[in-house]
Amino acid sequence: MPVIRFLREGCDVECYPGENLREVALREGIQLYGLKGTLGNCGGCGQCITCFVEVADGATASALSPRTAVEDQKLRRRPQGWRLACQALVQHSVVVLTRPQVGLPDKEARLAAALASPLPAGPTSWPAPPETEAEVEQEAGGEEASSAAEEGRL
Ligand code: FES
């Protein structure tokens, strides 16, 4: 699975190829918005311009889907590496900086450290769904077993 390496937060998050960057960040509890966006955002419609992220390494810019027409319009006065998280789909592993407008004092050091350990490329398609009833039951049994194991740990 592609990995999103969040530079500011210092964490890696796995996602499926094609997932929306904003949705992955919110699901994982990443603070994507500044004060204005926290108080009110458009919910991912590309209208509020508060979900900025910076693709930290220019070489991985193709890891996200191409800029949309909305981004071309809304980001025309912003650096080229900036994206709206709600408009970007993750295609391959990528390093991103959330809230780039805030700045990050040790950004260069963090970026160097983040790029020092390579990101897995990840697959380019979703896993195939199970085809037979036996496979479905096998997967369900595996999930039950792992749930039971987790409960045992608690
Ligand atoms: S959430 Fe409003 S522009 Fe992305």
Exposed/middle/buried for residue 25 (C-beta within 10 Å: 0-12, 13-18, 19+): buried
pLDDT category of residue 125 using cuts at 50, 70 and 90: low
The dotted CATH code for 3-116 is 3.10.20.30
**Is ligand 1 within 6 A of the CB of residue 84?**
yes
Task: Give the whole-number percent of the chain exceeding pLDDT 90.
Answer: 51
- Residues 6+ away with beta carbon under 8 Å from 26: 32
The ligand 1 atom at the shortest distance from the C-alpha of residue 44 is: 1
Which of 33, 50, 67, when mutated, tests ligand 1's pocket best, judged by the most ligand atoms within 8 Å of its CB?
Answer: 50
Least Cα distance to 90 among 52, 124, 129, 49 occurs for 124
Cβ pair 70, 42 in contact under 8 A: no
3-state secondary structure 123-135: CCCCCCCCCCHHH
Question: Tens of pLDDT along 44-56?
Answer: 999 999 999 999 7
